[in-house]
Amino acid sequence: MKSEPTAKKRGWDPYSGRLYLIFALLALFSTLGLDYLAGRRGEKAHFFSTRTIEKAVPVTPVPLTDSVRRFLGTSGIPPESVEESKDADGTLRIVARLPIRDYKSLERRLDKELFKKGAAVDKKKGEEEGLTSYSWRITGPQEESFSLVFSLLQPPPEEKAKEAVLPSPPENRVAIIIDDMGDSLEVLQEICDLGQPITISILPHSQYAEETARVAHENGLEVMLHLPGESVNHEEGNNSTAGLIKSGMSEEEIRSLVEESLSRVPYIKGVNNHMGSKITQEEPIMRPILDILKSRDLYFLDSRTTAETIAFDLARKMGLRAAYRNVFLDTSVGVDYSKRKMIELFKFSQKKGKAIGIGHPFPETLQALRENINLLKKYKVTPVFASEIIPK
């Protein structure tokens, strides 16, 4: 029997050599991988640079009182006109003195600021010896509570006398209404961010009708009900719009629909029609609608979706505060088109002393408003809520 050959006789085995090489490479890659991970964790590494790990610094919320102090300081109120003290129960009390004519603008802006911070506000008006004051009880989300009192200063006697003698120049006023609201809180935020007295009209059966009304009210905007009515030629809208008032309905049906729609949208000051080119031509349909609005002391705005409307004239005959739309801002959707219609609205106001424009929450319309709201100053017109432009 032959003996097995020795290793020397067999020579080098290529298969074993490749296997050794693979194991060596795996060991090398493992070492490099572990070294890289150590460096990323901030530990000592031999081949890779060690990463510096930044420790997360907890963010401390700014106290609500500091936010209010900062707001007052940037609102043009002199530091000497702001005083702080403690109430009997130890609660902080901030008193700010400012001219009465400056209060409304400041109130709107501060309401908006406090809403963003999740604060609740309870306001009370006071009158004492001819001095008007507003006491705000502010409660923050972190149970932070304090009082903010605005003491409103009357103009000097000589200035008041001058105002009484010199008639005020006629003011060109413009009311801008955004219809079809209630389906997007993001769109509502865009309108609030304009910082202008915009009136929003909410569809009663929209997804966020009640919340839209509440948020708009808390941000100082005016709220209307956008009451759906049958259209002459908008068949799709007639078939898909909830709460639609139709031609041929009984007075009982009409009143029931109006009352239900009113119950869905809080804080409303008035009503305008959504579609409605058919029913606004018919007195038997409009009369019970307007009768309910009159009983609730609400104004009526005729959107004038048809030239044949009798709604405005009937409302005036029935003794309602009423007006009608002068310009639609977005009959055609487009930024340039809406800009041209805004200018048309402002020029109409210059000519007539007041004007009402209606737009819709299209992205193009909102962009046109953002980019061109500064034209109010150029055309010397004053933006107001719809209620401020509708005659008594």
Distances in Å between the Cα of 318 and the Cα atoms of 30, 84, 257, 322, 391 are: 89, 53, 21, 10, 14
**Domain CATH number, residue 263:** 3.20.20.370
Residue 316 lies in a domain: yes
Per-residue pLDDT, 164: 52
On the CB side of 4, how many CA atoms lie within 13 Å of its CA? 2
Alpha helices in 117-193 (DSSP H): 157-165, 185-193
Q: Name the strand (E) or helix (H) holding 99.
A: strand 92-99
Per-residue pLDDT, 160: 52
Number of domains the chain is built from: 2
Given 122, 155, 188, the domain boundary residue is 155
What is the chain's length?
392
Q: Are 314 and 335 in contact (CB under 8 A)?
A: no
Same domain, 70 and 219: no
Same domain, 222 and 146: no
Per-residue pLDDT, 66: 87
Is-above-0.85 flag for pTM? no
* Cβ-defined contacts of 136-142 (< 8 Å, 24+): 138/64, 138/68, 138/114, 140/64, 141/117, 142/61, 142/64
Domain of residue 92 covers 64-155
Q: Are 249 and 195 in contact (CB under 8 A)?
A: no
Per-residue pLDDT, 42: 61
Same domain, 226 and 373: yes
Per-residue pLDDT, 56: 46
Query: d(Cα 182, Cα 201) in Å, to the nearest integer?
Result: 8
Residue 33 lies in a domain: no
Residue 308 lies in a domain: yes
Same domain, 124 and 223: no
Same domain, 137 and 282: no
Same domain, 179 and 146: no
Residue 319 lies in a domain: yes
Dihedral angle sign, alpha carbons of residues 155, 170, 109, 392:
positive
Given 155, 182, 214, the domain boundary residue is 155
Same domain, 150 and 181: no
Strand partners, 223: 200, 268
Per-position pLDDT tens, the chain of length 392:
444 444 444 455 666 667 677 777 777 767 777 766 666 666 666 666 655 544 544 545 678 888 888 888 777 788 889 999 998 888 999 999 988 878 887 888 888 888 878 888 998 888 876 678 899 999 988 778 999 999 988 766 655 555 455 555 558 999 999 999 999 999 999 999 998 999 999 999 999 999 999 999 999 999 999 999 999 999 999 999 999 999 999 999 999 999 999 999 999 999 999 999 999 999 999 999 999 999 999 999 999 999 999 999 999 999 999 999 999 999 999 999 999 999 999 999 999 999 999 999 999 999 999 999 999 999 999 999 999 999 87
Same domain, 145 and 81: yes
Alpha helices in 41-179 (DSSP H): 64-73, 103-116, 157-165
String of DSSP letters for 260-290: HHHHHSTTEEEEEEEE-TTGGG-HHHHHHHH
Residue 27 lies in a domain: no
**Domain CATH number, residue 127:** 3.30.460
Residues 6+ apart with CB under 8 A from 40: 51
Same domain, 335 and 309: yes
Per-residue pLDDT, 67: 84
Per-residue pLDDT, 39: 66
Distances in Å between the Cα of 338 and the Cα atoms of 78, 329, 334 are: 40, 5, 6
Strand partners, 95: 83, 149
Residue-wise pLDDT tens digits, 255-294: 999 999 999 999 999 999 999 999 999 999 999 999 999 9
Same domain, 208 and 302: yes
Per-residue pLDDT, 9: 46
Given 124, 155, 186, the domain boundary residue is 155
Closest CA to 277 of 318, 322, 244: 244
Using left for φ > 0, alpha for ψ between -120 and 50, and beta otherwise, residue 257 falls in: alpha
Residue 348 lies in a domain: yes
Q: Name the strand (E) or helix (H) holding 378.
A: helix 375-378
Per-residue pLDDT, 271: 98
Query: d(Cα 281, Cα 271) in Å, to the nearest integer?
Result: 17
Encoded tokens for 219: 């941000």
Same domain, 71 and 216: no
Same domain, 297 and 328: yes
